[in-house]
Chain A
Amino acid sequence: MNTPSPAAPALEASHLTKVYGSGNTEVVAMKDVSLTVARGEVVALLGPSGAGKSTLLTAIGLINPPTSGRIAIGGQAVMDADRALVDLRAFRRQHLGFVFQKANLIPFLNAVENVQVAMEINDVSPPAARSRALELLDYLGVAGRSHNLPDALSGGQQQRVAVARALANQPSLILADEPTAALDSQRGRQVMELFRKVAHERGAAVIVVTHDHRALDIFDRTYEMEDGQLKTN
């Protein structure tokens, strides 16, 4: 098994296929998709509903194994078809960051604790995790609400806390599935710009599924998905 190397691309996915169900109910959600994303690159994934964008993203995110194909992250092979080549949970907490349409914050933890917990499960000491969590919230402009429970935050604030959480462990790959769908266009653009900033400043690769064509200028590259197949724009 090879380890992540600084020279390797952030993501190399090759010939990914995903088939849901079998027989009559069989759905081919993803067909022979290959995708390479370099470090520091911000990539948009567009496409109509049902095209297979979430399927691709969750396969890359190691939470929805492909039926066939290979995935390497940071040069390290992690999936061969539906077979895990590493401890997926350990790999996720060390190298991946997720943002979804809903913030999915843990309701019984306040903003700073929601960020902190991501680091604590990655064995960062609680004091270190806390100070870094506060820094991140400050970076995302929600430091003032760090002691509020998610219920007391607006949708945009929640989403920014979720972004802070995704950045907490300095992941090499950030996966965002319609992160701005619940935000107004101005807030949405801010979040997209934030991804670009993180990618360029910290060398992380970012893949964003979006329907918002107004913010496409932010991305380094744009892919279009249709019927489970990937096309470059």
Chain B
Amino acid sequence: MNLAAKDIRHNFGRFALTTVGIGLLLMIVMGMGGIYRGLIREATLLVDKIGADLWVVQGSTRGPFAEVSRVSANLEDRARAVPGVAGARRFVSHTIQREHRGRPLRIVVQGLSWPEDRGGWIPLVAGRPLQQAHFEMIADRSLNLPLGERLQLGKDVYEVVGLASGMVGSGGDGLCFFSVSDAEAIQFDVPGEAVRLERQSRRARAAARDIGQVQPLLLERAAGPASDLPALAPPQVSAVMVALQPGADPAQVAATLATWPDITVYSTPQQVDLLLAGMVDKARRQLGLFRVLLIIISTIIMALIIYTLTLDKIHDIAMLKLMGARNGVIVGLILQQALLIGALGYGLAYWLGTFAFPRFPRLVVIETTDLVSLAAIVLGISVLSSLLGIWKAMRVEPNKVLS
């Protein structure tokens, strides 16, 4: 005869409620772990999917994700000349927040190195990759922009030609892919008045120099478009991604690139490490601490419940002792209930999670290893929480029956 089962049957309502409560707590613990995994996956998604072997970024920075990096766009051509390099692409990425149809829209503007990269590698659920150099975009599904939607960004209007799934930036915001020049146009867009003011101040600076006095034509140039000024810096990109020829040694190519003093080079795994060590680390510790707290809270709540369940039975436990029951019978009665609450709570947490987690605004990834370790933790807290009750039960004297 299983005493634990009989007692549960007798106190079913309370037992069920306790299990639901523990289940919900465990679901949060499980969700916390899933949010953490999701954070990592989202943070490293672009690096993983974009298919670069090496990342060339501004000298002594840890860009382009962990911090700002600026390199000149022609670095692309310099990189192509290195032996072992199959191709190089410009990397342009920045986040914008605009108002669209009355709601805020956060977009990670991602440049594709047109014409080599038209976004063929992006997992599309509808539409097509880019087909022209300008005014087309591929939007992530999470942005809720339908195919054919037109969006004014900067001075131009862009049309959604493709829909991607699961493409989000490290902040969880949906990605939009443009050609690099469009992405830069969006990034560096300034109002006409600002352009006029800048030209005016250039003209004023030139006029204040003696060369402006001797060469009046220069003043006219200064007031014209920036592209007509030979002395201005070339357009800048965040980084250059390098793809290697099959069989090329990444370490060797990286070593060659690293001799250039104006840049720093990272392999893709290094880039992932930078992302995780820097950006995700605090969030991870935050979630980790929160999980630990929740586990402690679950243990305390469960211990209290098991303790009160034991107190309710203390007279019966004294009677069992009086009849000569071994300690194993009494420990079994308490421990089995704790384990059952733990196991059912865990099952409930998992089941509820399958409904709840996909509806979370950010990605929640439940991995098997996490499920296994949580199961071990639940086993631990079930045993731990029953200790208080067991301690109480072990102390009761059989002649307590008489009082």
Contact = CB atoms under 8 A, between A and B. Distances in A.
A151 B88 CA distance: 83
A178 to B, nearest CB: 11
Contact of B1 (A89, A91, A94, A126): A126
Interface string A84-119: 000001111110101010001011110001001110
B322 A98 contact: yes
A108 B322 contact: no
Most A CB within 10 A of own CB, among B3, B322, B324, B329? B324
Contacts of A17: none
Contact of A104 (B3, B325, B401): B401
Given A63-B399, A100-B401, A106-B316, A90 B10 contact: no
B3 A54 contact: no
Interface residues of A, number: 30
A61 B325 CA distance: 15
Interface string B391-402: 000000111011
A58 interface: yes
B315 interface: yes
A122 B9 CA distance: 24
B1 A107 contact: no
B399 A64 contact: yes
A107 B322 contact: no
B326 to A, nearest CB: 7
B193 to A, nearest CB: 82
Given A104-B401, A116-B1, A121 B326 contact: yes
B1 A104 contact: no
Given A93-B325, A117-B1, A106 B319 contact: yes
Nearest to B5: A108
A64 B403 CA distance: 13
B323 interface: yes
Most B CB within 10 A of own CB, among A58, A100, A121, A122? A121
Contacts of A149: 10
B324 A122 contact: yes
B331 to A, nearest CB: 13
Contact of A107 (B10, B321, B324, B399): B10
A109 B11 CA distance: 12
Interface residues of B, number: 23
Contact of A108 (B11, B323, B324): B11
Nearest to B398: A63
Contact of B325 (A58, A89, A96, A126): A89
B105 interface: no
Interface string B320-353: 1111111001000000000000000000000000
Contacts of A116: 1
B322 A63 contact: yes
B270 to A, nearest CB: 62
Interface in A5-56: 54
B7 interface: yes
Most B CB within 10 A of own CB, among A64, A92, A108, A126? A108
Given A108-B9, A177-B402, A93 B1 contact: no
A120 interface: yes
Contacts of A104: 315, 319, 401
Contacts of A113: 1, 6
A169 B68 CA distance: 83
Nearest to A110: B6
B10 A108 contact: yes
Contacts of B402: 54, 58, 100, 177
Contacts of B397: 63
A109 B9 CA distance: 10
A109 B316 CA distance: 11
Nearest to A58: B399
B324 A94 contact: yes
Contacts of B6: 108-109, 113
Contacts of B323: 92-93, 98, 117-118, 121, 165
Contacts of A54: 402
B8 to A, nearest CB: 8
11 contacts: A63-B398, A89-B324, A91-B324, A104-B319, A108-B3, A108-B6, A108-B7, A108-B9, A109-B1, A117-B323, A118-B323
Interface of B: 1, 3, 6-7, 9-11, 315-316, 319-326, 329, 397-399, 401-402
Given A63-B399, A98-B323, A108-B6, 11 more contacts: A63-B322, A89-B321, A89-B324, A89-B326, A92-B323, A92-B324, A93-B324, A106-B319, A109-B6, A116-B1, A121-B326
